[in-house]
């Protein structure tokens, strides 16, 4: 998962890009970059780390121009290294080009192998660089035509921002896996992964880019087109479950209200009679926990406190950091939990290790019973479209029953929302506009070589309580 931001037509473009990336920091914490255009050339700055640490006033002063694009990275393709930090910038026969990508290309390795066999030299491990090579090799006459030809060869998820000396181009893949929105700030156009970035800079939200849409902004204004054949929508449901910021409007719906409805639906499907209170795993579990409490009539309280000096444990790239981060991130409120039968609501269980630590923490703080409720279905399949679940072996639900998972995480009971309930909560009962492959195994770009089953031998081994 990554976050992208672009602005054109503003004298302080790089400063506003910095603010936009700050609002999107939850989407990636490994690296950040900004590329600015003054109409004559591109200037770039990329570093490992957080936006606020990287982009000091002296750095931003070196990025003049009235157009800029920015990127915060969380790696799904390519190692966590400066060479893979984005936006990627090149100079080729067509001029200067910079690209920022949110998503993941499922045929990138196949394309890269073919390009390298034909003499291409790659500077990074990122799947995004494949798009640059395809653009550079296109024989089409205009940049837009080159881009469309290049993208017609790739498969998977992409929301892209491309900056040249004279124009900014935004494009979204035909399935619409990853979000991208358009805004207006006086005479400037703004593009961002989420509306929260527009809110921070006080830009007006205009609309979401449609799946398969390309928007070109240059001195002639804004032009939108649909250069790709229409196909089934595949908006990522996990954006609403976990990744997006609660104050964003995503795929036309309030993320906060959707998560509350997930909690209400979860309470209807997985009630907990006799429980004393509902608590959340902060921060992403809070709206669902509030919804659960509303629907169940069980009081909501704060039983876990999150340290705001620690990042999101799910998107830390190394497993060792993720494990260590749980202890740094959360602490239990003994006065709330002692002697209580507690319903704890979280958004998902991926590997199970975090949930196990949280349940043990609650019991150590005096909770009499811990009933774990999850506002998404069991995550049984890897995501190839931009979320870090690269193999079934890492997914505890791929080969273990709910009862087995409950024993592993040491919860008294465990309950998930159903796939049908998830669809109802997001207003998509037929599930034909969202991608739910991580829950259902039904991929929109083929089976991707994924085995239909996982044996216990290939699955994570469950330790005893």
Show the DSSP H helices in 41-117 as ranges.
51-54, 57-61, 108-117
pLDDT, residue 308, reads 79
Distances (CA, A) of 416 to 109, 158, 349, 374, 431: 35, 30, 10, 5, 18
Name the nearest CA neighbour of 285 among 349, 337, 338, 336: 349
* Largest interatomic CA distance in the chain: 72
Tokens of 136: 């550079």
Instruction: Look up residue 185 and give its two tokens.
Output: 């700030």
Q: Where are the alpha helices (DSSP H) in 13-96?
A: 13-23, 51-54, 57-61
Query: Which DSSP letter does residue 309 get?
Result: T
The rounded average pLDDT for each run of 10 residues, N- to C-terminus, in the chain (465 residues) is 95 98 95 96 96 97 98 72 91 95 94 93 91 96 97 97 97 97 97 98 98 97 97 95 95 96 98 98 96 98 88 54 68 97 97 94 97 97 82 92 98 97 87 90 73 35 36
Give catalytic status of residue 2 as yes or no. yes
Distances (CA, A) of 258 to 146, 238, 263: 39, 12, 9
Q: Which of 2, 236, 383, 438 is catalytic?
A: 2
pLDDT of residue 394: 87
- Distance, in Å, from the CA atom of 267 to the CA atom of 289, rounded to the nearest integer, reads 9
CA separation for the pair 195, 364 (Å, rounded): 40
The reported pLDDT for the residue numbered 457 is 30
Q: Is 458 left (phi over 0), alpha (psi -120 to 50) or beta?
A: alpha
């Amino acid at each position: 998962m990554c976050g992208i931001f672009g602005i054109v037509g503003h004298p302080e473009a790089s400063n506003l890009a910095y603010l936009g990336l700050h609002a999107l920091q939850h989407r990636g914490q490994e690296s950040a970059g900004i590329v600015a255009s003054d109409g004559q050339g591109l200037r770039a700055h990329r570093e490992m780390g957080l936006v606020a640490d990287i982009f000091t006033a002296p750095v931003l002063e070196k990025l003049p121009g009235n157009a800029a694009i920015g990127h915060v990275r969380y790696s799904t393709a390519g190692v966590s290294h400066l060479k893979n930090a984005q936006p990627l910038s090149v100079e080729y026969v067509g001029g200067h080009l910079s690209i920022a990508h949110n998503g993941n290309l499922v045929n990138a390795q196949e394309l890269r192998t073919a390009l390298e066999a034909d003499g291409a030299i790659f500077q990074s491990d990122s799947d995004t660089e494949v798009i640059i090579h395809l653009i550079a090799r296109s024989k089409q006459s205009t940049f837009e035509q080159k881009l469309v030809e290049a993208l017609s060869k790739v498969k998977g998820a992409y929301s892209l921002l491309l900056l040249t000396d004279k124009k900014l181009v935004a494009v979204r893949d035909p399935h619409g896996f990853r979000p991208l929105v358009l805004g207006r700030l006086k005479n400037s156009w703004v593009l961002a992964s989420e509306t929260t970035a527009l809110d921070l800079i006080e830009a007006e939200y205009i609309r979401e880019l449609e799946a398969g849409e390309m928007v070109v902004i240059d001195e002639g204004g804004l032009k939108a087109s649909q250069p790709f054949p229409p196909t089934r929508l595949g908006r990522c449901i996990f954006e609403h479950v976990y990744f997006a910021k609660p104050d964003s409007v995503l795929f036309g719906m309030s993320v906060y209200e959707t998560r509350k409805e997930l909690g209400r639906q979860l309470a209807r499907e997985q009630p907990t009679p006799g429980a004393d209170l509902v608590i959340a795993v902060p921060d992403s579990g809070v709206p669902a926990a509030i919804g659960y409490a509303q629907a169940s009539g069980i009081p909501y309280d704060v039983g876990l406190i999150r340290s705001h000096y620690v990042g999101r444990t799910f998107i830390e790239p190394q497993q060792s950091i993720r494990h260590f981060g749980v202890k740094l991130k959360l602490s239990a409120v003994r006065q709330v939990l002692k002697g209580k039968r507690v319903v704890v609501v979280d958004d998902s269980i991926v590997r199970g290790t975090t949930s196990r630590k949280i349940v043990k923490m609650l019991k150590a703080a005096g909770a009499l019973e811990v009933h774990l409720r999850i506002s998404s279905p069991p995550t049984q399949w890897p995501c190839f479209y931009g979320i870090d679940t690269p193999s079934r072996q890492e997914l505890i639900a791929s080969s273990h029953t709910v009862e087995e998972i409950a024993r592993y995480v040491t919860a008294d009971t465990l309950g998930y929302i159903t796939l049908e309930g998830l669809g109802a909560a997001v207003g998509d009962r037929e599930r034909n506009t969202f991608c739910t492959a991580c829950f259902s195994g039904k991929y929109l770009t083929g089976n991707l070589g994924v085995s239909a089953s996982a044996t216990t031998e290939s699955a994570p081994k469950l330790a005893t309580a």
